[in-house]
Amino acid sequence: MGDCESENENDFGTPELVWRSKEETKAARDLVSSIPSFCSSCETDPDNSENSSVRAKNIVSLVNEYLSMIPSYNIYDSEKHMFMLISSGTAKALVSLVLNSQTQCYKQSGEESIKLFLYPNIRFVPKSIRKHWVRLVLKFCDLLYCEDKHGDQHPLYYTCRKTLISLLKLTSFRKTSKYTYATQPSDTIEEFYPFVKDYFVYSELSYEFIRCLANIRQDIWNGRYFNFTPRWPSYLSLLRELKKFSKIYLNEEEDLFSEIRGYQYQVDMLVRLSKRSDDLKWLLEHKNSISSNTRDYLLMKMLPEVKFDFEKHHKMLIDRSQILTDSFKHLSLGTSKSLHSGLSVEFRNEEAVGYGVLREWFFVICQELFDPKGSLFLACPTDGRRFFPNPAPLDHRHRNYYAFAGRVIALALMHKVQVGVTFDRVFFLQLAGGVISLEDIQDADPVLYKSFKTILEMDADIVDSYALGLTFVREFEEFGSRRVVELCPGGDSIIVNSKNREEYIQLLIQHCFVKSIAEKLSYFTRGFGDILCERELQKIFFQSLELEDLDLMLLGSSEAISVIHWKAHTVYHGYEETDDQIRWFWEVYSYRRSIVFSTF
């Protein structure tokens, strides 16, 4: 099979010498002739016609076919293929499809074809042609930016930029090490330097920031903590800008915060030195890169700060015999502004006042509010301290009690009081806007969970024999009568089989644990949002938490309290450690070993 030699002008306006075998020539000719003709026909083709759809798919097939022909074992031949591709005008034709076509299927085929040249497909690019691939991706970047006045906002443009940076890394595009002020582009990409120079700036800044964090640790070890404190908080502003910058480049944001994870102590200190008014919520987007202490501190900043001025507190006089109704009345009448100052509670005909009374009120009201006998919430069978809204149909008289519950929990967090109750995973995930899976319902309804697992593990032949007798419906009791609800349109006629059983179970989970409590959840979140500094922070608050974090906030630690450590750090006012009352206290506590005992 003979080769022919010709000189062409490529997309960069420079002549390239191209050798083509007959097979290569045919593939290139098909690619070059088909794509531009498809672009021009977009003006006359009816949108989404069958003919357009077929031809659009053919574009992707042609690009795929040509890429599959690039040999990875022969540098000479692989470079020939890349020269042909660059000189063919393919990049311009595909970008034209994406930006100019009025036909949706052509736009999609253009995007799909361009993505074949981008991340993650670049992992399979032979080393011999990576430098040429850089040229091609750069061309896509230029065209997407120049052809469209909004090109810098096009998702493909950013994908191209990220891919370009990744390729530049693979092609050893620096003369010197990554972290140095003397960084310059290598000769092979000198012409591309203006395009990627901002990446060099980002690299240097990120390196310097990590070096600053390391210096903080060294300063602390050397006892120079207070000398450097004034300028440390400004480092968080730099980190925020680096975070914005890193989003432009492939995996850089992940890499940046992966390094930050090794300096959690320093970041924790910087956060503690910041002002309460500083907006640091963006740190919570990488909650696994910061310590749990930092995470909790940032979350508490979303709640109002309790005022020390007792006169500004929202005052409540509560009758113990009617603690639920009295508390509901007082909190319902309170405005968000008045509640943000803090609470002050007194029990009728009792002299005790102060923080101890407030803590007792929180604990008792939560026991009343979350009592399963009250029908608002149900306890998990496996853990009586975990609750979720009762899925039973909502009595409209109780709607505002869910808003009341939201206020109580938010106020307890605001006052840093442990209340003896916490949330089940089903409830917690929905507060965070998460999706409920089969494993998430294990504690809320162990019987239903086991039943679903049995269906999934059954032999396919048994399920397909219709032995289960199930259709896509849910049967349940509502106000004493039996109801049947379809899980999807026509569900009563869809029989559960081995192919659709997973869908059936997921739909049933959504109906039992999501739709059934949706209205109650909305009232709870409304009440919780009343207490937050900004109502829209409610979802961010729970998204930034792990369920274990919330458990610590509402329940406290499950670890036994060390009596020895407690005694060692106890300060006595008006008593001596040897007094009978003090001795009796420690004897009783040592005997009971009750964590709840320490709540009061």
How far, in Å, are 122, 141, 192 from residue 131 at the CA level? 12, 15, 12
pLDDT attached to residue 195:
54
Distance CA 140, CA 157 (A): 8
- What average pLDDT score do residues 5-23 get? 42
39 contacts 93 by C-beta, under 8 angstroms: yes
pTM of the model: 0.67
Across 34-61, b (16+ Cβ under 10 Å) vs e yields: bbbebbeebeebeeeeeebbebbeebbe
What's the CA angle centered on 245, arms 240 and 250, to 5 degrees? 125
Query: pLDDT of 264-319, one tens digit each?
Result: 888 888 888 888 888 888 888 888 888 888 888 888 889 988 887 777 888 999 99
Q: How sure is the predictor about 366, in pLDDT bands with cuts at 50, 70 and 90?
A: very high
Round the average pLDDT of the chain to a whole number and report it. 78
pLDDT attached to residue 428:
94
Q: Radius of gyration of the chain from Cα atoms?
A: 33
Distance CA 295, CA 297 (A): 5
Considering only CA atoms, which of 154, 163, 153, 62 is closest in space to residue 113? 62
Q: Is the pLDDT of residue 5 over 70?
A: no
**Got the DSSP string for 83-99?**
HHHHHTTHHHHHHHHHH
Which ranges constitute the DSSP H helices of 274-322?
292-300
Length of the chain: 600
529 contacts 535 by C-beta, under 8 angstroms: yes
Sequence-distant (6+) residues with CB within 8 A of 264 are 289, 290, 291, 294
- What average pLDDT score do residues 30-59 get? 63
Tokens of 565: 């450590």
Which ranges constitute the DSSP H helices of 73-188?
75-87, 90-100, 104-115, 130-146, 155-170
Q: Is the pLDDT of residue 441 over 80?
A: yes
**Got the DSSP string for 383-410?**
EEEEEEE--SPPPGGGHHHHHHHHHHHH
- Give the strand pairing for 481-486 and 473-478: antiparallel
Query: pLDDT of 113-141, one tens digit each?
Result: 888 888 666 666 777 777 778 778 888 87
Give 309's Cβ-side CA count (13 Å radius). Answer: 5
Residue 318, H or E segment: strand 314-318
Identify the residue whose tokens are 């709870």. 524
Distance CA 204, CA 208 (A): 6
pLDDT attached to residue 598:
45
29-38, 156-165, 272-281, range with the lowest pLDDT: 29-38
Sequence-distant (6+) residues with CB within 8 A of 96 are 39, 110, 147
Percentage, residues of the chain above pLDDT 90:
22
Across 112-149, b (16+ Cβ under 10 Å) vs e yields: bbbbebbbeebeebbebbbbbbbbbbbbbbbbbbeebe
421 contacts 366 by C-beta, under 8 angstroms: yes
Q: Is the pLDDT of residue 379 over 80?
A: yes
Question: Would you tell me the crossing angle of helices 22-41 and 90-100 to the nearest 10 degrees?
Answer: 20
Sequence-distant (6+) residues with CB within 8 A of 312 are 341, 342
What's the CA angle centered on 506, arms 505 and 509, to 5 degrees? 85
- What average pLDDT score do residues 245-251 get? 70
Cis-peptide into 120, omega within 30 deg:
yes
pLDDT attached to residue 402:
94
98 versus 251: which is more confidently predicted?
A: 98
Give me the residues paired with residue 316 across strands: 345
Tokens of 165: 């940076």
550 contacts 428 by C-beta, under 8 angstroms: yes
Task: Give backbone dihedrals phi and psi of 166, rounded to 5 degrees, phi first.
Answer: -60, -40
Residue 175 is which amino acid?
K
- What average pLDDT score do residues 213-227 get? 66
Q: Is the pLDDT of residue 39 over 70?
A: no
